[in-house]
Amino acid sequence: MVAHWHMDEAAGASVMQDSAPLGGANNGVIVNVMTGVPGLVSGKAYSFDGATSYVEVAENDSLDPGAGQISLTATVRTVDGAMPDDSYDLVRKGLVTTKGGYWKMEIKRTSNATVGRLHCVFRGMLPDGSMQIAKRLATPDVVDGAIHTLQCVRTGDRIQAVVDGRVYSKTRATGSIANNQSVILGAKIAGDDVLRGSMDEVIIKIG
Contacts 24+ apart (CB under 8 A), 161-165: 161/118, 161/119, 161/120, 161/136, 161/137, 162/118, 162/138, 163/118, 163/138, 163/139, 164/140
Task: Return the pLDDT at 21.
Answer: 82
Task: Return the pLDDT at 46.
Answer: 98
Look at 25 and 93; give whichever has higher pLDDT: 93
Average pLDDT of the residues in 44-59: 97
Residue 159 has pLDDT above 80, yes or no: yes
Mean residue pLDDT of the chain comes to: 96
Domains of the chain: 3-206 (2.60.120.200)
Task: Give the pLDDT band of residue 23 (cuts 50, 70, 90).
Answer: low
Tens digit of each residue's pLDDT (9 = 90 or more) over 174-204: 999 999 999 999 999 989 999 999 999 999 9
C-alpha separations of 28 from 58, 176, 187 in Å: 7, 25, 14
Average pLDDT of the residues in 100-120: 97
| Max Cα–Cα distance, the chain, nearest Å | 49
Tens digit of each residue's pLDDT (9 = 90 or more) over 57-99: 999 999 999 999 999 999 999 998 999 999 999 999 999 999 9
3-state SS class at 91? strand
Look at 198 and 21; give whichever has higher pLDDT: 198
| pTM, entire model | 0.96
Residue 24 has pLDDT above 70, yes or no: no
Task: Return the pLDDT at 192.
Answer: 95
